[in-house]
Structure formats: structure tokens, C-alpha cells
Amino acid sequence: MSATKILLDEKDMPRQWYNLAADLPTPPLPPLGPDGKPITPDMLAPVFPMNLIEQEVSTERWIDIPEKILEMYALWRPSPLYRAKRLEAALGTPAHIYYKNEGVSPPGSHKPNTAVPQAYYNKEFGIERLTTETGAGQWGSALSFACSLVGLECKVYMVRISFDQKPFRRLMMETWGGKCVASPSNETQAGRAILAEMPDTPGSLGMAISEAVEAAVTDQSGKTRYALGSVLNHVMLHQTIIGLEAKKQLELAGEKKVDTIIGCAGGGSNFAGLSFPFIADKIHGAEIDIIPVEPSSCPTMTRAPFTYDFGDTAKMTPLLPMYTLGHDFVPPPIHAGGLRYHGMAPLVSQTIRDGLASPRAMHQLDCYEAAVLWAKTEGFISAPETSHAIAATIEEAKKAKEEGKEKVILFNWSGHGLMDLLGYDAYFNNKLTNYPLPEEDIRKSLASLEGLPKP
């Protein structure tokens, strides 16, 4: 029998991350400050350590991965590349479907690929404590895990409604020694101001970011910094280990070329992690379809303009050049919480502008249908975010069947859904819907971008 899993030995783990900024046909636009002028590294210093800021602005093609990070990566990396033979059989497709299993990490997703380096570089810089925000808890648990490995304190501001409804992710953070509070909290000025006005607010990611950034920059010891789990260039950089491993593994599997690369995209990091090394090949002439997948109800890449916008609702971040539905946009409450983001990483946005990636939007019910077929064939229970990549993969595999083509399709199985089973329950009990496109909300939210600088 041919192999189901293509393993890579630890000694063959990539020793460098790949920086797409070095190869993009159009150099990325700079982030802007409140005055409309490009941000300088110094301006970010109260928020991030300088060694990470250097990665953020770097245009070096390859950046060495320190030995100590490789040792921590080895707790779960290289992740296995799987051939989804049972799904292929169920679909009767001639396509070869491969997926990278990022669910094998201790927190169960791709997030630790950047959480570990971010914790490491902060520790190296003399930082003692990291703050961050989290929605459903994937990122907060990954950062707590990473901080426990390197010996940093970790403080997570978790959106109140998730804090109350999803105690398991909070318990993961606490098991790794992280402190998790519901946001808005009484611990920050931003939190207190919000609570004074709206004592019963369910919270939001925007509020939680405000609290986490404030807690970092106001610590007088200077030993606290903030960490972000997606969107930024250095986050995309760290995630490229996924695609770099996958390339080696496809070669081991005897595949001469890959035709299609698929990843779900919320802030963009898991998609970027798999796709950027392949986009490099595309820039140099390879014919590859690169497909980032988003929810139809939060259609950042497929419906929004490319413009400067804030990364958060509280307007505390620099202005980033990206596809954006507007920082005021509140996506419908789909279960794929990690895809409910109004913007898209500037580097990912740039690949779309340059015609290197072709985004696609999928409906919630189609994604759950795909995830259930996946569980019954491939066995693993998928995160609702990941199910978007599965649904698009199935579409492509069916197309290959119609065309009679033995296409090679690779997607990123970004995480397991063991903490997300209530969404499956709702699906089985017909309690889920495909939300109609919130046209009016998008119109209003985009209107709030007037007056901001244009690219």
C-alpha cells in the first residue's frame, strides 16, 4: 500500500523561515501612524521587542531559526503530511489530496508556530511578561503554552462571552500557568471605561486588544510586551515552516509538482504559513492555484476594498494596507470564530492584489457538511475554521474528477475541533444557518473608512 502519512525526521526540519516580502513583485506598502506617515521601528518599541520588530520590517529572504526554537518545535514538528486516501475514495476523484496536520501541537492548532518564537524572542530581549487578547481561545492557549516553555508570565484578555461560554480553552491556559481574565476587565483604564458605560457588554476582540496593549505599554518596569497571533509580517514569517516542511514531504511522496494550495484565512497566518513558499515558486513561473478561503458572511478578500484601515475596532493599531470590511464591521456569529476578522494580513492582501492568490468564500453549512464527511473518512474532527479549507478542497477534487485530471491538491488542516463540538451539535440539530451577506452592515462599516489615508 502507498503511505498514508509522509513523515519528516527532526534532523530534516527547515532551519530558516521564508520571508515573502523579499520576493513580492510589488513591494508591500508601509503601515502608517496616526499622522499618516510611515511607522518607524522605534514607534513600535513600547509594544514589541526590537528583535521581533526587525523581523517585522525585514526584507531578507531567509531568516535563521535559532537552535532553541527548533528544540521546542520538536515537541510536535515536523508535522505529518497526510494523503487523504479515504476521502479520495469517497469522492471517487483522481486527485491526490494531501493535508498538513497542524492539529498535532499541544494546543491543537498551527498557532504555536509563532507563539513559541514570539515568547523566545521576548525572553531573549529581557522581557518577563506577555499580554495578549483572545476570542474563542486558540491564540491565548497557544501563547500560554509557549510562555510556559520559555519561562515568561502570560496574561490573556479573553472576550467576556467566550470566557463565560467556553471555559475549556481558559482551563488550557491555566494548566500552562497563564492568567486569563474576562474582557472588559477592571484591570485597565480601557476596560473600566467600557464597563462604566456598558456594564453588561459581552466584550469584543477590539476591546480585548485595547486592554492587552494598554497593560503592556503602561507597565512601568518596561518588562512587559504585547503579542499578536496573526496579521503581522513576523507572524506570517514564523508560520512558513508549514509550507517549507510540506515541500520536502511532497518530494518524499514522489510528487513532481503541486497544482493547488488551499488554506482558510481569518487574519491570514495559517494560509500564509502553507502557501508562501509555494507562492515563491509561482512568482518564479510555476503554475499553481493558490486559494485562501473565507466565510461568505465575512467576505474580506472577495468583497472588500484594499485600503488603509486600523487592525482593531478601538483604533489603537497603526493603519495597515489590506483588504478590509472596515474596523467597525461585526461579522455574523458563525462558529468559525477565528475567521471573524474585518481585515486581512497585509502580505496576504498583497498576494491577492498581485494576482498570486485567488480567494474563495464558503457558506457555513457547506463547511459543516464537509467536516462531517471528513470525520467519517479521514477520522479527525476538524476545527470550524479548518472546515472551510476542507470544503474548498472537496470542490477542487470534484472539479478534478469532472475534468478527469490527476491533480495534486494540498491544504492546511490547521487544527482539531475537539473544543468546538457544540458547533457540530448545533449543525446536527439543524440550528445553524448560512447568514445572508450583511450588505447594509458592510456599507456602514466601509463608510467609516472615509477620511483615512488611501494607498
One-letter identity of residue 125: F
Determine contact, residues 25/280, Cβ cutoff 8 Å: no
Instruction: Report yes or no: 136 and 169 within 8 Å, Cβ to Cβ.
Output: yes
Question: CA-to-CA distance for 392 and 409, rounded, in angstroms?
Answer: 11
Closest distance of CB 176 from its own copies, Å: 6
| Site residues (CB under 8 A) for its own copies, limited to 403-432 | 418-419, 421-422, 424-425, 428
If phi > 0 it is left, if psi is from -120 to 50 it is alpha, else beta; for residue 77 that is beta
**CA–CA–CA angle 236, 109, 97 (5° rounding):** 85
> For residue 318, which of 441, 425, 233 has the smallest C-alpha distance?
233
Rounded to the nearest whole angstrom, what is the least distance from the CB of residue 443 to its own copies in the complex? 38
Among 30, 94, 106, 318, binds its own copies (CB under 8 A): 106
Smaller CB separation from its own copies, 2 or 220? 2
Nearer to its own copies, 148 or 204 (CB): 148
Question: Which residue, 421 or 447, is less far from its own copies as judged by CB?
Answer: 421
Comparing CB distances to its own copies, the nearer of 411 and 424 is: 424
Cell of 259: 497544482
Grid coordinates belonging to 224 = 512587559
The nearer residue to its own copies, 259 or 378, going by C-beta atoms, is 378
Binding mask 108-137 for its own copies (x = CB under 8 A): x-----------------------------
> Does residue number 378 form part of the binding site for its own copies (CB under 8 A)?
yes
Number of residues that bind its own copies (CB under 8 A): 43
The region of 173-181, 240-248, 391-399, 400-408 touching its own copies under the rule CB under 8 A is 173-181
Between 345 and 374, how does the x/- string for binding to its own copies read (CB under 8 A)?
---------------------------x--
Long-range contacts of 180-187 (CB under 8 A, 24+ apart): 180/134, 180/140, 180/144, 180/155, 180/156, 181/155, 181/156, 181/157, 182/158, 183/133, 183/157, 183/158, 183/159, 183/207, 183/208, 183/211, 184/160, 184/208, 184/211, 185/157, 185/211, 187/211, 187/215
Contacts to its own copies by CB under 8 A: 1, 3-5, 7, 9-11, 67, 70-71, 74-76, 86, 104, 106, 108, 145, 148-149, 167-168, 171-172, 174-177, 372, 375-376, 378-381, 418-419, 421-422, 424-425, 428
